[in-house]
């Protein structure tokens, strides 16, 4: 099969890219999405939240993209109407970028003219470290919907049982809460001195740890799982910790991090910081190949640094940015009928003067002809999480000194508190628990504008008003 455009991967970025392709007028038959998963693109964050709840449960088709950002829900019929081929339950096992060919596990061949790599991340497994018994039944990881379905079945089968959650990051915190809501006796184990260490300060973490403890979650810090006991059916029965403790378990959920799925392209494409290196328009080192979402290592203009981001907001926005760029080049070609040889000569000429071809086209030719341009991706990092009745948002960069503000007592009825990160005398990051939409907007603005601060004490006293009155 041959397509003009192929999106490899059928997750969040793929769904948002498809919507943008449709907005830009992709023709029927031109675009295909190839996905290992059996369902159309959906909002992955739901899997660790309402998908697991005993009440108010989320199920497909309720959370297909793009509902997560308040947009239209793209049901499978939408793709049919637009003439977009959804090639599901199809794992690509070989990619040859030189011949523009993808080969599936059953040997089918897919040719493309332009490829968007949107393969996302996969989980790090305890079996990767040779942890004894880590392949036992009822040890779960959570990335895709079929894994969430297996977990839901186990939650029903082991009703009111004991669960051990290994990992103290996003999955650890969200799954401990979901299992507790399902009335499991939950222990959460992680090696660091406090939970979510890659974002939380000790002060922020102290609130969540106490809050979780009050909800009945047993938090065990500073140690790791080194083995699992099993019964005659091969089901997990206990978790052995490095410090010698043994925890009974009917279910274990592991969230010890993810890694971007770049293996198909190893040696064929430039990589950096574990991901596929792109420019600000998500073009990779290979012509006609783009990378978006979790797999892309892109220039983060705000910090003048290249980074990879494993969060849904960036997956959505990077996908839209990549397709907009594609559309611009396509329209440029069709509007001006530039032959390939002329394009190549122009590119060589511009490169000699260190001018990027796209930048030239976007800001010079197309902008002036159409009165339109596409700016470089200028991403403000945005992460969030929800668990129990808590909900936090973070914007910016978590570097430098920190100031905790507000009411962070775990027993407080409002628990509205937050933190600022200050670097070189400027506020560069802001975190807020239980903010209103306006307050969240205000902290986002602070992180983007990076206002100067003279005194950290004064900032702590002003707290949230520093953001809301800016």
Residues near ligand NAD, by CB under 6 A? 48, 121, 166-172, 174, 189-192, 197-198, 224-225, 255-258, 310-311, 383, 385
Q: Which of residues 304-343 bind ligand FDA (CB under 6 A)?
A: 310-313, 315
Please list, in sequence order, all residues whose beta carbon lies within 8 angstroms of the beta carbon of residue 213, skipping any fewer than 6 positions away.
Answer: 219, 410
Spatial CA neighbour of 358 closest among 324, 335, 307: 324
Q: Nearest approach, Cβ of 241 to ligand NAD (angstroms)?
A: 9
- Does 20 bind ligand FDA (CB under 6 A)? Our answer is no
Nearer to ligand FDA, 184 or 383 (CB): 383
248 vs 236: CA distance, rounded Å: 9
Nearer to ligand NAD, 127 or 455 (CB): 127
Residue 204 tokens read as: 């922020």
| Number of helices and strands in the chain (H, E) | 12, 26
65 contact, one of ligand FDA, ligand NAD, none, CB 5-8 Å limit per kind: none
328 contact, one of ligand NAD, ligand FDA, none, CB 5-8 Å limit per kind: none
202 vs 9: CA distance, rounded Å: 37
- Does 9 bind ligand FDA (CB under 6 A)? Our answer is yes
Q: Nearest approach, Cβ of 351 to ligand FDA (angstroms)?
A: 30
Q: Residue from 3, 7, 36, 217 that binds ligand FDA (CB under 6 A)?
A: 36
- Does 85 bind ligand FDA (CB under 6 A)? Our answer is no
Give the chain's radius of gyration (CA, Å). Answer: 24
Question: ∠ CA(371), CA(375), CA(380), 5° rounding?
Answer: 145
Please list, in sequence order, all residues whose beta carbon lies within 8 angstroms of the beta carbon of residue 173, skipping any fewer than 6 positions away.
Answer: 188, 195, 196, 208, 212, 385, 387
CB 254 within 8 A of CB 48: no
Nearer to ligand NAD, 193 or 216 (CB): 193
313 contact, one of ligand FDA, ligand NAD, none, CB 5-8 Å limit per kind: ligand FDA
User: x/- binding map, residues 364-403, to ligand FDA, per CB under 6 A?
Assistant: -------------------xxx------------------
Q: Residue from 18, 22, 26, 45 that binds ligand FDA (CB under 6 A)?
A: 45
Residue 251 tokens read as: 């279910």
DSSP state of 389: T
Q: Residue from 22, 33, 142, 443 that binds ligand FDA (CB under 6 A)?
A: 142
Residue nearest to ligand FDA (CB): 11
166 contact, one of ligand FDA, ligand NAD, none, CB 5-8 Å limit per kind: ligand NAD
Residue 225 tokens read as: 């799982």
Nearer to ligand NAD, 82 or 311 (CB): 311
Nearer to ligand NAD, 11 or 169 (CB): 169
CB 235 within 8 A of CB 175: no
224 contact, one of ligand FDA, ligand NAD, none, CB 5-8 Å limit per kind: ligand NAD
Residue 442 tokens read as: 């205000």
- Does 13 bind ligand FDA (CB under 6 A)? Our answer is yes
Please list, in sequence order, all residues whose beta carbon lies within 8 angstroms of the beta carbon of residue 157, skipping any fewer than 6 positions away.
Answer: none
Q: Residue from 143, 277, 415, 416 that binds ligand FDA (CB under 6 A)?
A: 143
CB 116 within 8 A of CB 17: yes
**C-alpha count within 13 angstroms, C-beta hemisphere, residue 322:** 34
Q: Residue from 209, 235, 294, 433 that binds ligand FDA (CB under 6 A)?
A: 294
429 contact, one of ligand NAD, ligand FDA, none, CB 5-8 Å limit per kind: none
- Does 196 bind ligand FDA (CB under 6 A)? Our answer is no
229 contact, one of ligand FDA, ligand NAD, none, CB 5-8 Å limit per kind: none
Helix (H, G, I), strand (E, B) or coil at 247: strand
120 contact, one of ligand FDA, ligand NAD, none, CB 5-8 Å limit per kind: ligand FDA
Please list, in sequence order, all residues whose beta carbon lies within 8 angstroms of the beta carbon of residue 270, skipping any fewer than 6 positions away.
Answer: 276, 277, 284, 285
Burial 244-282 (b: 16+ CB within 10 A, else e): eeebebbbbbbbbebebbbebbeeebebeeebbbbbbbb
Q: Nearest approach, Cβ of 435 to ligand NAD (angstroms)?
A: 16
Q: Which residues bind ligand FDA (CB under 6 A)?
A: 9-14, 34-37, 44-45, 47-48, 91-92, 118-121, 142-144, 261, 264, 293-294, 310-313, 315, 383-385
């Amino acid at each position: 099969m041959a397509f003009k455009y192929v999106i490899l991967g059928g997750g969040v970025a793929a769904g948002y890219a498809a919507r943008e392709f449709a907005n830009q007028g992709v023709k029927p038959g031109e675009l295909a999405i190839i996905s290992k998963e059996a369902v159309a693109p959906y909002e992955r964050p739901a899997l660790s939240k309402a998908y697991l709840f005993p009440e108010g449960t989320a199920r497909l088709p309720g959370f297909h993209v793009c509902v997560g950002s308040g947009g239209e829900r793209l049901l499978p019929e939408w793709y049919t109407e637009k003439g977009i081929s959804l090639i599901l339950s199809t794992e690509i096992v070989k990619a040859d970028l030189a011949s523009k060919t993808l080969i599936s596990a059953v040997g089918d061949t897919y040719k493309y003219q332009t490829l968007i790599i949107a393969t996302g991340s996969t989980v790090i497994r305890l079996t990767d470290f040779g942890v004894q018994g880590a392949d036992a039944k009822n040890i779960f990881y959570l990335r895709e919907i079929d894994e969430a379905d297996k977990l839901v079945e186990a939650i029903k089968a082991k009703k009111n049982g004991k669960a051990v959650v290994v990992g103290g990051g996003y999955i650890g915190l969200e799954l401990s809460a979901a299992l507790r809501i399902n009335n499991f006796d939950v222990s959460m184990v992680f090696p660091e001195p406090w939970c979510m260490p890659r974002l939380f300060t000790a002060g922020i973490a102290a609130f969540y740890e106490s809050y979780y403890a009050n909800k009945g979650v047993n938090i065990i810090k500073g140690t790791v799982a080194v083995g699992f006991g099993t019964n005659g059916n091969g089901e997990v029965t206990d978790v052995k910790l490095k410090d010698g403790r043994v925890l009974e378990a009917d279910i274990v959920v592991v969230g010890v991090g993810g890694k971007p799925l770049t293996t198909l392209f190893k040696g064929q494409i430039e990589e950096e910081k574990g991901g596929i290196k792109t420019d600000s328009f998500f073009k990779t080192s290979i012509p006609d190949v783009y990378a978006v979402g979790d797999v892309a290592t892109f220039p983060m203009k705000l910090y003048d640094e290249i980074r990879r981001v494993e969060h849904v907001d960036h997956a959505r926005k990077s996908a839209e940015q990549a397709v907009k760029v594609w559309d611009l080049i396509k329209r440029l070609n069709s509007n001006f009928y530039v032959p390939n040889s002329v394009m190549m000569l122009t590119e060589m000429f511009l490169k000699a003067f260190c001018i990027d071809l796209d930048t030239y086209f976007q800001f010079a030719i197309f902008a002036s002809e159409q009165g339109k341009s596409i700016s470089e991706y200028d991403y403000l990092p945005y992460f969030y999480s929800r668990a129990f009745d808590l909900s936090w948002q973070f914007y910016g960069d978590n570097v430098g000194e920190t100031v905790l503000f507000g009411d962070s007592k775990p027993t407080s009825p409002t628990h509205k508190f937050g933190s600022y990160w200050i670097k070189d005398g400027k506020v560069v990051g802001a975190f807020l628990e239980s903010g209103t939409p306006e307050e969240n907007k205000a902290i986002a603005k602070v992180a983007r504008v990076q206002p100067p601060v003279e005194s950290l004490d004064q900032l702590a006293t002003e707290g949230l008003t520093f953001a809301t009155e800016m």
